[in-house]
């Protein structure tokens, strides 16, 4: 018995580490002067480094369960966790000077982000609907409060309230759906649900009822149409650094629970959720791309762009094949890399007295700082899906999977929507390179941000040129976890 | 030198040099840029000589270097086929390239694009080597297009000159026509034999001989179609009628590249390609006849145009066209080795002539009109002697290199019996006279007679006019120019005498060129003549003195002497009395104006129509702007939904769930 617990604990070492470090950060902040906040920053980065080590040390080769199958550690989980650490670490780095300028560079920010990370890690590793819900709530509560971190800012608090109320509604929907599924299968364990449904087909309409509600909750987290309304408002209202956080890493976790619940737990209901996802994907791609055109605020534009990307991710999941899941995983990871750069550039263009949030602010960037204009160019091309960037490859893989699943017409439609999307991405490029700058002056950023940001942006190009290792890693992560 | 990778160094050396000089550009000193490229080409030349030495001992390498792409059942590889044919081309290409590199140091001195020029010609050397060393059609096509690209870049080297831009565009477009045929031919080969590898194609070619295909409602042999299509590619690159129109205009480029690309190497790629494809061409007499007739037309009629040109480079350009026609005729007569032999000798003496012309142009301060020259032998002795050697080689003076190749060529055409050989024989024979006449017209006008630039009344002292002031004397060019001239003059004299026996009648090409002796016995007979009647190259020279070609050549020279030295008013009188013929020649048989009126004007007309109707109305008006308007409207509409009120948002979510439930729950 004792050994068993020891084994269980050894599996959740990274989670334990992140939890204790978050506490340490919270406590340390009480005892240091505001001028030595770099300690907190370094502690947080160290946390991520340490958890990377802990996860990487015994990277899961095979699926292992802990705490009576509540917690699972497999290739998919470890892969997603590693990417999450990277994403959070980059978030800390990119937002450092932006937060300092606005007086938000405080201990609770780091602690909350680390708690949010813990929530995501739990979501990623959950093998029980209860744990899914717990992780989701931990993440969500942290995100709500982070959004309102700048509490004297009216816009930020307004968006936090919106996010909170709608999020509560979505959680309620999810919980209700879970209870329906529990009613039909009398289990919360994803593995048992899967086998029960497979062996004893039960009342179908109750299950579909549950599925719709679960899906609504998931779609809210991902930001898929028609549950996307909060996305633009929250992006616009929250400080850019927070918007960056909300738009990037939590999508990985949401993707993980989507895979766990749909592709694993409700595998035998594939015919039903396939169509639901299809509707959401098509709507997301259309509404995301078309509405983005009318935006004048770049953060809102990013928000709609996110919605369209989510549509593509759902395209891969909906194919219902290992290949499709792997493509979606590839897409969600590369989406995270892209969105981080896009927000980071927004942040380094802002300073104490100036908040860069209008599309017009990008005018003539090439004349001011050609290198950043080039990095932004890479991101825009990648988001638009132009080869040889990673974004092209991601779209290509996802659409290929959908094509194999037989959705020819919808794939053609998606490609046409990509063309529509091209417009607003390339408009940024046009503004940067062909228009005269409104403001003069070079853009300053600290040396480490410069280097890491350049590396991050160039990686979009490099992985796009040689995507095979990355693609293989995702394929392996998926095929190790689902059989 | 046994691993395939060591051969890789030969094309890669110039490529690396080209990239370094091209990318670093202004950061390098001019001296470094030129010496670096020269050294790399020199290295390639030495390695090529080693390779030739090896292949002379019977070595044949046919091996892939790496696989570039594999799709389904097709594999695309980069590989080398190295045998005597390749090795000979490699040595010729690298040698001429080396000479031109050295020459360029003097010729391009002070030009702002000095480094760019070196980068280009090194890139050309790489491309040409890839072309000749290829062992498959894909790489052949790569090299084929790459040399075309560099040719395009170099013709338009002085991109401020509008004529240069016009000329390079023309060269590019005309070559597209040829390349279209070429790639169709390659596609057919891939379709019928299932491979692009030379060896496999040649092995499988037996399968397709029996097949016919429907073309314009007529059954045609597949092999004939393939050969004709491939030859259309050769017609573009090797400037055969009617795709020859780009070559004279290509003289807008700097003279060194006229020598390297548009005389000695690139334009002979077509000849090389057909020789390489001899196992295919040997199977189709129809294609061979086609080849021969096209060649014969080019050889004679382009030569005639050389007579009336007054630009020193254009005379030589038309001479090149005519000589390419000669080689093509030899291909048609199944005398591939003779064509290759003439290709080699021609490369040396024509490069020599072009570089000599370049030296004259520098001496004349960039005046290219031969009517303003004269008596230059007094001022430019080295250029004079070497140019004379080149001209003598070109017209086929016994013992000179051009004599051996051209005389064998005429002889073999005489012995050939395929359709069109009589016409071809007539053409090449008259061509000898024409060649001798225009060559020595040029020679006498430039190097003998009165110093005509002194007769000009207008003295131009400003920078905008080219040409020599009446009071100035031209000077002999620098060593970097005269050295290549001298080095090229040597093979122009002796290479024929030395190499005729192994190349034409020995086993030099035995492993490279396939010959169907029973069907095309001309080469066999020629060999018989050479051994039994002439007893060797010297005897061949002695015998030729009584032959018709020699008579034609001497009478051409004599006529040129009479017209341009003795009775210098005669040409003007002749022009006056033969206005019709003269104007036909002046208009170059109307090819240019026909192309301009029919193709250029016609396609502009069509393009305009498509643009107005298809593009502006349907695509722009309907699809592009129409969709944009539509999307814009939708976008505005959807924006309204995003009201900012929580209860709207929550309502949307609930509606969403509700709709999903009604859709999916079936009770």
3-class secondary structure, B61: strand
Tokens 């983005």 sit at which residue? A292
Tell me how far apart the alpha carbons of residues A185 and A173 are, in angstroms, rounded to a whole number: 18
Interface subset of A 77-106, CB within 8 angstroms of B: none
3-class secondary structure, B242: coil
Q: What pLDDT score does A409 carry? A: 92
Q: What pLDDT score does B466 carry? A: 66
B666 in contact with A, Cβ within 8 Å: yes
A283 in contact with B, Cβ within 8 Å: no
Q: Which residue in B has a C-alpha nearest to residue A276's C-alpha?
A: B660
Q: What pLDDT score does A139 carry? A: 96
- Percentage of residues in chain A having pLDDT higher than 90: 70
Residue A1's pLDDT band (cuts 50, 70, 90): low
Q: Which residue in A has a C-alpha nearest to residue B639's C-alpha?
A: A291
Contacts of B656 in chain A (CB under 8 A): 216, 226-227
Contacts of A164 in chain B (CB under 8 A): none
Q: What pLDDT score does B65 carry? A: 84
B349 touches B317 (CB < 8 A): no
Residue A16's pLDDT band (cuts 50, 70, 90): very high
Q: What pLDDT score does B464 carry? A: 46
A305 in contact with B, Cβ within 8 Å: no
Contacts of A170 in chain B (CB under 8 A): 653
pLDDT at A301 over 90: yes
Contacts of B648 in chain A (CB under 8 A): 229
Q: What pLDDT score does B101 carry? A: 93
Tell me how far apart the alpha carbons of residues B50 and B3 are, in angstroms, rounded to a whole number: 14
Q: What pLDDT score does B458 carry? A: 57
Contacts of A162 in chain B (CB under 8 A): 646, 649
3-class secondary structure, B79: strand
Q: What pLDDT score does B11 carry? A: 92
Nearest to A176 by CA among B661, B646, B659: B661
Across all residues in chain A, what is the average pLDDT? Answer: 91
* Residues composing chain B: 667
Report DSSP state, residue B309: -
A168 in contact with B, Cβ within 8 Å: no
How is residue B415 written in tokens?
Answer: 């012995």
Model-wide pTM > 0.80: no
Q: What pLDDT score does B219 carry? A: 85
Q: Which residue in A has a C-alpha nearest to residue B638's C-alpha?
A: A291
A270 in contact with B, Cβ within 8 Å: no
Q: What pLDDT score does A311 carry? A: 95
pLDDT at A259 over 70: yes
Whether the upstream peptide bond of residue A458 has omega within 30° of 0, thus cis, is: no
A215 in contact with B, Cβ within 8 Å: yes
Q: What pLDDT score does B459 carry? A: 52
Q: Which domain holds residue A276?
A: 2-482
**CB spacing of A229 vs B642 below 8 angstroms:** yes
B498 in contact with A, Cβ within 8 Å: no
Nearest residue, CB atoms, A216 vs list B628, B656, B665: B656
B648 compared with A137, residue with greater pLDDT: A137
Distances (CA, A) of B544 to A300, B335, B433, B551: 89, 20, 15, 9
Tally of domains within chain A? 1
Residue A170's pLDDT band (cuts 50, 70, 90): very high
Residues 6+ apart with CB under 8 A from B504: B337, B338, B341, B408, B523, B526, B527, B530
Interface mutation target, options B646, B651, B654, chain A, most CBs of A under 10 Å: B646
pLDDT at A57 over 60: yes
Contacts of A213 in chain B (CB under 8 A): 657
Q: What pLDDT score does B460 carry? A: 53
Residues 6+ apart with CB under 8 A from B76: B67, B68, B69, B70, B136, B138, B196
Report DSSP state, residue B299: I
B655 in contact with A, Cβ within 8 Å: yes
10-residue mean pLDDT profile of chain B (667 residues): values are: 77 92 84 91 93 88 82 81 92 94 89 90 94 93 93 91 90 91 93 89 84 83 92 92 89 89 89 93 91 94 90 92 94 92 93 93 87 88 93 92 92 89 92 94 90 71 61 84 92 90 84 84 85 84 87 92 86 84 83 84 85 80 78 78 84 89 81
| Interface predicted TM-score of the whole assembly (ipTM), two decimals | 0.87
Q: Which residue in A has a C-alpha nearest to residue B666's C-alpha?
A: A205
How is residue A87 written in tokens?
Answer: 């994403």
Q: What pLDDT score does A251 carry? A: 95
Residues 6+ apart with CB under 8 A from B488: B96, B99, B348, B349, B351, B352, B355, B386, B390
**CB spacing of B653 vs A226 below 8 angstroms:** yes
Contacts of B625 in chain A (CB under 8 A): none
**CB spacing of A294 vs B639 below 8 angstroms:** yes
Q: What pLDDT score does B605 carry? A: 87
Exposed e or buried b per residue across A41-66, where buried means at least 16 C-beta atoms within 10 angstroms of its C-beta = bebbeebbebbbebbeeeebeebbbb
A166 in contact with B, Cβ within 8 Å: yes
Q: What pLDDT score does B463 carry? A: 47
């Amino acid at each position: 018995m004792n050994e068993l617990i020891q084994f269980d604990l050894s599996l959740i070492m990274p989670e334990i580490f992140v939890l204790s470090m978050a506490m340490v950060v919270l406590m340390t902040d009480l005892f240091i002067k505001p001028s030595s906040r770099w300690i907190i920053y370094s502690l947080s980065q160290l946390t991520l480094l340490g958890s990377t080590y802990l996860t990487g040390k015994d990277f899961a080769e095979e699926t292992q369960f802990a705490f009576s199958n509540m917690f699972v550690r497999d290739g998919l989980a470890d892969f997603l966790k590693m990417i999450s650490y990277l994403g959070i670490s980059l978030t800390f780095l990119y937002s450092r000077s932006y937060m300092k300028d606005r007086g938000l560079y405080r201990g609770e920010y780091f602690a909350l982000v680390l708690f949010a990370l813990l929530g995501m890690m739990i979501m990623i590793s959950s093998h029980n609907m209860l744990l899914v819900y717990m992780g989701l709530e931990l993440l969500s509560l942290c995100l709500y409060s982070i959004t309102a971190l700048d509490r004297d800012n009216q816009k930020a608090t307004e968006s936090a309230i919106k996010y909170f109320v709608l999020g509560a509604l979505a959680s309620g929907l999810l919980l209700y759906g879970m209870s329906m599924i529990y009613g039909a299968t009398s289990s919360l364990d994803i593995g048992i649900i899967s086998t029960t449904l497979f062996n004893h087909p039960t009342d179908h309409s109750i299950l579909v009822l549950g599925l719709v509600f679960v899906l609504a909750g998931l779609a809210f987290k991902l930001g898929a149409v028609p549950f996307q309304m909060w996305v633009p408002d929250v992006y616009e209202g929250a400080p850019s650094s927070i918007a960056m956080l909300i738009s990037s890493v939590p999508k990985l976790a949401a993707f993980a629970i989507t895979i766990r619940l749909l592709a694993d737990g409700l595998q035998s209901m594939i015919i039903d959720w396939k169509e639901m996802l299809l509707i959401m994907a098509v709507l997301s791609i259309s509404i995301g791309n078309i509405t983005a055109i009318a935006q004048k605020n770049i953060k809102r534009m990013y928000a709609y762009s996110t919605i369209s990307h989510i549509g593509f991710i759902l395209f891969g999941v909906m194919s219902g094949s290992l290949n499709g899941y792997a493509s979606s995983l590839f897409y969600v990871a590369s989406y995270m890399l892209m969105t981080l750069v896009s927000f980071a550039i927004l942040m380094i263009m802002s300073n104490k007295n100036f908040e860069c949030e209008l599309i017009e602010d990008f005018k003539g960037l090439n004349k001011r700082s050609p290198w950043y204009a080039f990095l932004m160019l890479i991101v825009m091309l990648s988001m638009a899906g132009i080869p040889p960037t990673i974004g092209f490859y991601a779209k290509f893989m996802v659409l290929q999977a959908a094509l194999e699943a037989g959705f020819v017409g919808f794939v053609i439609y998606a490609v046409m929507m990509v063309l529509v999307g091209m417009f607003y991405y390339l408009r940024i490029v046009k503004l940067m390179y062909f228009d005269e700058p409104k403001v003069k002056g070079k853009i300053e950023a600290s040396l480490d941000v410069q280097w890491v940001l350049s590396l991050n942006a160039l990686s979009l190009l490099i992985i796009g040129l040689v995507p095979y290792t990355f693609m293989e890693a995702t394929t392996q992560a998926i095929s190790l976890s689902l059989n | 030198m046994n691993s395939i990778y060591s051969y890789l160094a030969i094309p890669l050396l110039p490529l690396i040099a080209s990239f370094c000089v091209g990318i670093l550009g202004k950061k390098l000193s001019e001296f470094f840029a030129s010496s670096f490229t020269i050294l790399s080409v020199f290295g390639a030349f030495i390695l090529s000589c080693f390779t030739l030495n090896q292949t002379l001992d019977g070595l044949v390498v046919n091996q892939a270097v790496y696989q570039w792409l594999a799709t389904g059942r097709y594999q695309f590889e980069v590989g080398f086929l190295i045998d005597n044919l390749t090795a000979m081309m490699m040595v010729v290409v690298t040698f001429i390239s080396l000479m031109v590199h050295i020459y360029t140091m003097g010729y391009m001195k002070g030009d702002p694009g000095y480094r760019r020029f070196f980068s280009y010609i090194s890139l050309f050397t790489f491309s040409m080597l890839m072309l000749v060393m290829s062992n498959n059609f894909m790489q052949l096509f790569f090299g084929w297009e790459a040399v075309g690209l560099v040719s395009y870049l170099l013709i338009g080297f002085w991109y401020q000159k509008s004529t240069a831009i016009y000329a390079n565009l023309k060269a590019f477009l005309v070559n597209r026509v040829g390349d279209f045929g070429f790639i169709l031919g390659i596609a057919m080969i891939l379709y019928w034999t299932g491979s692009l590898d030379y060896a496999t194609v040649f092995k499988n070619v037996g399968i397709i001989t029996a097949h016919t295909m429907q073309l314009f409602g007529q059954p045609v042999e597949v092999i004939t179609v393939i050969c004709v299509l491939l030859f259309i590619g050769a017609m573009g690159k090797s400037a055969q009628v009617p795709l020859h129109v780009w070559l004279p205009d290509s003289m807008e480029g700097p003279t060194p590249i006229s020598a390297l690309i548009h005389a000695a190497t690139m334009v002979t790629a077509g000849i090389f390609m057909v020789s390489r494809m001899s196992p295919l061409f040997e199977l189709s007499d129809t294609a061979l006849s086609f080849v021969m007739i096209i060649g014969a037309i080019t050889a004679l009629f382009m030569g005639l145009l050389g007579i009336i040109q007054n630009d020193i480079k254009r005379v030589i350009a038309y001479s090149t066209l005519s000589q390419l026609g000669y080689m093509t005729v030899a291909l048609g007569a199944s005398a591939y080795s003779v064509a290759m032999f003439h290709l080699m000798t021609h490369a040396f003496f024509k490069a020599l002539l072009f570089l000599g012309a370049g030296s004259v142009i520098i001496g004349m301060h960039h005046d290219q009109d031969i009517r303003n020259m004269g008596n230059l032998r007094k001022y430019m002795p080295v250029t004079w002697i070497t140019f004379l050697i080149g001209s003598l080689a070109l017209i086929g003076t016994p013992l000179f290199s051009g004599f051996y190749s051209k005389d064998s060529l005429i002889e073999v055409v005489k012995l050939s019996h395929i359709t069109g050989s009589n016409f071809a024989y007539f053409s090449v024979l008259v061509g000898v006279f024409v060649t001798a006449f225009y060559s020595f017209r040029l020679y006498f006008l430039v190097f003998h007679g009165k110093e005509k630039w002194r007769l000009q009344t207008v003295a131009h002292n400003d920078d905008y006019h080219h040409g020599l002031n009446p009071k100035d004397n031209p000077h002999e060019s620098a060593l970097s120019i005269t050295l290549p001239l001298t080095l090229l003059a040597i093979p122009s004299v002796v290479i024929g005498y030395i190499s005729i026996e192994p190349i034409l009648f020995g086993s030099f090409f035995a492993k490279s060129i396939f010959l169907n002796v029973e069907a095309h016995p001309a080469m066999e007979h020629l060999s018989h003549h050479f051994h039994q009647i002439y007893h060797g190259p010297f005897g061949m020279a002695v015998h030729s003195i009584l032959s018709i070609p020699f008579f034609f050549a001497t009478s051409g020279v004599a006529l040129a002497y009479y017209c341009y030295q003795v009775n210098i008013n005669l040409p003007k009188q002749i022009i006056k009395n033969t206005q019709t013929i003269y104007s036909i020649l002046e208009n170059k048989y109307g090819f240019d104006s026909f192309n301009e009126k029919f193709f250029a004007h016609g396609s502009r007309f069509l393009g305009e129509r498509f643009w107005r109707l298809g593009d502006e109305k349907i695509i722009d008006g309907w699809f592009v702007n129409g969709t944009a308007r539509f999307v814009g409207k939708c976008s505005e509409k959807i924006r309204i939904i995003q009201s900012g009120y929580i209860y709207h948002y929550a309502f949307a979510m609930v509606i969403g769930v509700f709709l999903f439930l009604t859709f999916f729950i079936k009770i």
